Structure 1
Amino acid sequence: MMETSLSHLEQSYDMGRVEIAPEVIQVIAGIAASEVDGVAYMNGGFVGELVEKLGRKNLSKGVKVHLGEHHTVVDVSIVVQYGEHIPDVARQVQHRVKNGIEDMTGLEVVEVNVHVVGVQVSQPVKLNREEK
């Protein structure tokens, strides 16, 4: 579930190069997003679900990374807990993902697009219906 324009992020320093694989950026984004209050879980689609059924925790589930030379765009798909204010949760996800990636990699995050793909209902919803 990863789309990149480079096979890795590479930066040169006096002592050599540092390479950061896109999967690392996905994991950072996935952890940051999943730690936001109101996020029920990340939605990774078929491949993400298959990996988890095989017994491996997929920390990059629901994250797509689009790398430029020194910047990135991140798409995050989440399911929000019922009763949460979706715009607030989405803004917190954007903030946490951007800061997490920038702090750990030095890469500029130009966009964090949050896709709310569902709502998690923990208890049955009672409907007010008049019976005739």
Structure 2
Amino acid sequence: MSGSIQITDAALASLIGLTAHEIPGVVGMAPANFKEGIARVLGQAQAREGVSISREGGRFSADLYIVAAYGVSIPTVARNIVDRVRHIAKTHAGLELGEIRVHAVGVQRV
């Protein structure tokens, strides 16, 4: 039996978003674009919120928009996110991600 498996941008974004939420120091995700901002206002936030997927030269890249906990080292949290997301994308989706960019767009007390 032969066939192919395709991972959609939405599925990859959900996997990455759920992974980012597991990282200590991440309070939540911020809307990655205007459409996500409207969805949040309407109470329709999803696991992929705060994740933007793009394809560059046949490789997936990801931008993550996070809200960090007050008092944490944001560079350390960002490195942990990049390492974990890269590992999860490889082991769970079979994908080697290109660039993974973490944007700390807010800080919040927990």
**TM-score, length of structure 2 as denominator length:** 0.87
3-state DSSP class of the match of 1:118?
strand
Unaligned runs of 5+ in 2: none
Unaligned runs of 5+ in 1: 1-13, 123-132
| Higher Cα radius of gyration | 1
Q: 1:52: Cα distance to partner?
A: 3.5
Q: 1:115: Cα distance to partner?
A: 0.4
Contact 1:39 1:78 in 2 (8 A): yes
- Corresponding residue to 2:7 among 12, 15, 20: 20
- Corresponding residue to 1:102 among 90, 93, 102: 90
Equivalence map 1:21-36=2 (5 Å):
21-36=8-23
Name the Cα RMSD after superposition: 1.8
Give every structure 1 segment of 4 or more consecutive aligned residues whose post-TM-superposition deviation is greater than 6 Å: none
Q: More helix per residue: 1 or 2?
A: 2
User: In the alignment, what sits opposite 1:11?
Assistant: none
Q: Which has the higher contact order (CA 8 A, sep 6+)?
A: 2
Q: 1:70: Cα distance to partner?
A: 5.0
User: Between the two proteins, what is the percent identity of the paired residues?
Assistant: 32
- Corresponding residue to 2:40 among 52, 55, 66: 52
Contact 1:70 1:107 in 2 (8 A): no
In the alignment of these two chains, the number of paired residues is 109
User: In the alignment, what sits opposite 2:71?
Assistant: 83
3-state DSSP class of the match of 2:63?
strand
Q: 1:69: Cα distance to partner?
A: 6.2
3-state DSSP class of the match of 2:99?
strand
2:106 is equivalent to residue 121 of structure 1:
no
